[in-house]
Amino acid sequence: MTNTGALWQNWARSESVRPARVERPTSVAAVQRAVIAAAKSGMPIKAVGSGHSFSGIAVAPGVLLDLADLSGIVGVDTATGRVTLAAGTRLHRIRGLLAPYGLALANMGDVDRQTISGATSTGTHGTGSAFGGLVTQIVGLTLVTGDGELLHVSETENAEIFPAARLGLGALGILVDVTIQCVPDFLLHAVEQAEPLGEVLDTFDERSRAADHFEFYWFPHTEKALTKTNTRLNPAAGRAPLAPVSRWIDDELLANGVFGALCTIGAVLPQSVPTINRVAERFMARRDYTDASTRIFVSRRAVRFHEMEYALPIAAIPAAVREVRELIQRSGWRISFPIEVRSAAADDVWLSTAHGRETGYIAVHRFYREKPAEYFTAVEAIMRSHDGRPHWGKMHTRDAESLRETYPHFDDFVAVRDRLDPERRFTNRYLERVLGR
């Protein structure tokens, strides 16, 4: 199917473009034909996932490829638990697809609306000091390269490209399938509670190591953090889910409905934000429950926001959060959205934010109707002073020159890009800024 002209916007409404052409291929061969046709007409081409990146990484001014019709399971190796998914598969479909095989994704981020290709291409991650982000679960993939050829990449096929292609920023070609190392299905036992921020910061490293998945949210202008500690359990342990009504009140009514209304008030009356946040703090009731992993990893986010997230050496997290808190106090800004702090294991993927170091993540947000630039720029300076690496799918101002300093394999990645896309058919303005022309 081919369309023209409609306006494309990302989820956060921070990026938009009117692509010259939109194509929705229904086969791998059609993806190859689209790449070859775009090359003949001298137009750039880009696959776009579900538009959940806050940065301009998915902006496709030439040909926008929508892979929604390339979705579902391509193959399953039941002996190894490796599952190949078509590139346009959305994360929220994966649980149902894996259920007949008793398998699950090892770890997930906060939401599941993204496509598997978009999520891995930007380094999407969840939390857990012993667990890497999604890229570390990828064991193989197939790309359509700049000349329209198919390239299979894994630890054994074209292995020299593997550390680049697992997190390719959409710069190396069009992914048509991705193979994931799954794990046996599991439950999570979740404990959520409000705790003094100072104590949480003092013990962050230790608690991140002790728990399977530890994270916390801190609402600016308050002294409490909402901690979440999740423990992996065998399905035989049995589910003890939240009662549907209390789940709806907490996760839909308060976290989306009421929170959205309060953000709207806060945008008009910023002086009310500290009071609102302190009231929100009082509603952070302790919750203790056990459920399917996806029901605990994933939340619904109905209130739109803008986000910047930085990856730091994990030991730097407490100091950096304290600096952000002092910055907010000093500046007089009224910040309605919480700061989210997570962790990940070190990995060997060249452009992974957790490459070569145990990592802590600090994410800052602003309601989408508020201007984020002043706050994000000041926080970014703090993150840079701790050798921070920005999430590729979230807002930041870094360029190739400064990113080269923090990624030891930056030039190796650029060399792979030169090899697979010498004509820069997959580029856009964001990639020109972060990788160079």
Interacting residues toward ligand FAD by CB under 6 A: 11-12, 46-53, 57-58, 67, 87, 109-111, 114-115, 117-119, 121-122, 124-125, 169-170, 174-175, 301, 391, 393
**Shortest Å, Cβ 71 to ligand FAD:** 11
Amino acid at 335: I
Q: Give dist(CA 424, CA 254) in Å, integer.
A: 46
Min CB(203)–ligand FAD separation in Å? 23
Task: Give the residue with the Cβ less far from ligand FAD, 54 or 219.
Answer: 54
Please, what is the minimum distance in Å from the beta carbon of residue 431 to ligand FAD?
8
What are the helix (H) ranges across 332-428? 373-385, 400-406, 410-420
CB of 27 to ligand FAD, least distance (A): 14
Least distance to ligand FAD, CB of residue 434, Å: 11
Single-letter amino acid, residue 8: W
Q: Which residue in 180, 138, 136 sits closest to 354, CA to CA?
A: 136
- Least distance in angstroms from the C-beta of 410 to ligand FAD: 17
Rounded CA separation 292/71 (Å)? 23
Q: Is 351 helix (H, G, I), strand (E, B) or coil?
A: coil
Looking at the Cβ atoms of 309 and 323, the one nearer to ligand FAD is: 309
**What is the chain's alpha carbon radius of gyration, rounded to the nearest angstrom?**
21
The residue (of 33 and 278) whose beta carbon lies closer to ligand FAD is 33
Q: In terms of residues, how long is the chain?
A: 437
Residue 113 vs 239, nearer CB to ligand FAD: 113
Q: Which is nearer to ligand FAD, 170 or 266 (CB)?
A: 170
Residue (124 or 196) nearer to ligand FAD, CB:
124
CB of residue 330 vs ligand FAD: minimum separation in angstroms? 29
One DSSP character per residue, 276-290 reads HHHHHHHT---EEEE
In this structure, are strands 45-48 and 63-66 parallel, antiparallel, or unpaired? parallel
Vertex 257: Cα angle to 256 and 259 (nearest 5): 65
Alpha carbon dihedral 69, 152, 419, 425, in 10-degree steps, equals -10
Nearest residue (CB) to ligand FAD, 124 versus 137: 124
- Least Cβ distance, residue 122 to ligand FAD (angstroms): 4
The residue (of 9 and 329) whose beta carbon lies closer to ligand FAD is: 9
As measured in angstroms, the least distance from the Cβ of 182 to ligand FAD is 19
Nearer to ligand FAD, 51 or 128 (CB): 51
Region at 227 (left for phi over 0; alpha for psi -120 to 50; beta for the rest): beta
Nearer CB in complex with ligand FAD: 11/376: 11
**What DSSP state is assigned to residue 207?**
H
Alpha-carbon distance of 339 to 337, in angstroms, equals 7
CB of 298 to ligand FAD, least distance (A): 9
| Number of alpha carbons in the 13 Å side-chain half-sphere of residue 288 | 1
Closest CA to 145 of 156, 161, 159, 134: 161
**CA separation for the pair 20, 47 (Å, rounded):** 14
- Counting runs of H as helices and runs of E as strands, what totals does the chain give? 15, 21
* Angle value at C-alpha 155, between 151 and 160, nearest 5 degrees: 65
CA dihedral 93, 99, 102, 103 (to 10 degrees): 0
